[in-house]
């Protein structure tokens, strides 16, 4: 018998174990299968999308503008007021998904005008304590319902 042949036979039980079905695979698949999150505490989606999607340990939240969850109307006459409402909406969605703002790892802020950056930033800072999430802020031409700010996020579930 050659050394290579003996080594190959020694690996057969290991290879068989790797090929065997994993009894936890069904549980893992169920845990990672994306599912939508909805809450009445935040505005209904105004298009063909979910308020958030949970996949595994992550929550992917759609952008929130300053819509009142009850009336669906845009609230706030300035970017500070709209930032506060958008973040409250986002907070409700994140919590409905089994997470919280202190577990947000990334946000994207869309501003109708970069001139509003400081005012948005002042309100934004009051919503995140401890480790601040990574963030991108971009200026865009227009936002849904002519909002001044839209914010989305990615969070980790508890």
Residue 64: CATH number of its domain: 3.30.1330.40
pTM summary value: 0.81
Q: Is residue 119 part of a domain?
A: yes
Q: Is 49 part of a structural domain of the chain?
A: yes
Q: Are 65 and 150 in contact (CB under 8 A)?
A: yes
Residue 14 lies in a domain: no
Q: How far is CA 20 from the centre of its chain?
A: 35
Q: Is residue 1 part of a domain?
A: no
Q: Does some domain include residue 23? A: no
- pLDDT 10s digits, 70-102: 999 999 999 999 999 999 999 999 999 999 999
Q: Are 138 and 109 in contact (CB under 8 A)?
A: yes
26 within a domain of the structure (yes/no): no
Q: What's the pLDDT score for residue 46?
A: 86
Between CA 68 and CA 130 the distance in angstroms is: 28
User: How many domains are there within the chain?
Assistant: 1
pLDDT of 44? 94
Domain boundaries, position 89: 32-156
Is 6 a member of any domain? no
Q: Quick one: pLDDT at residue 15?
A: 45
Residues of the chain with pLDDT under 50: 14-15, 25
């Amino acid at each position: 018998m050659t050394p290579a042949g003996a080594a190959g036979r020694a690996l057969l039980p290991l290879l068989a174990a790797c090929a065997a079905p994993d009894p936890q695979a069904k549980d893992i698949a169920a845990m990672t299968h994306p599912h939508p999150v909805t809450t009445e505490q935040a505005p209904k989606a105004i298009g063909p999308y979910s308020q958030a999607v949970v996949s595994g340990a992550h929550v992917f939240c759609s952008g929130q503008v300053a819509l009142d969850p009850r009336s669906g109307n845009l609230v706030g006459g300035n970017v500070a007021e709209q930032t506060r409402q958008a973040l409250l909406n986002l907070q409700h969605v994140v919590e409905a998904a089994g997470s919280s703002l202190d577990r947000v790892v990334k946000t994207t802020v869309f501003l109708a005008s970069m001139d509003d950056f400081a005012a948005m930033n002042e309100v934004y800072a009051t919503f995140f304590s401890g480790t601040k999430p990574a963030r991108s802020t971009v200026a865009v031409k227009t936002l849904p319902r002519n909002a001044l700010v839209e914010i989305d996020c990615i969070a980790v579930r508890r």
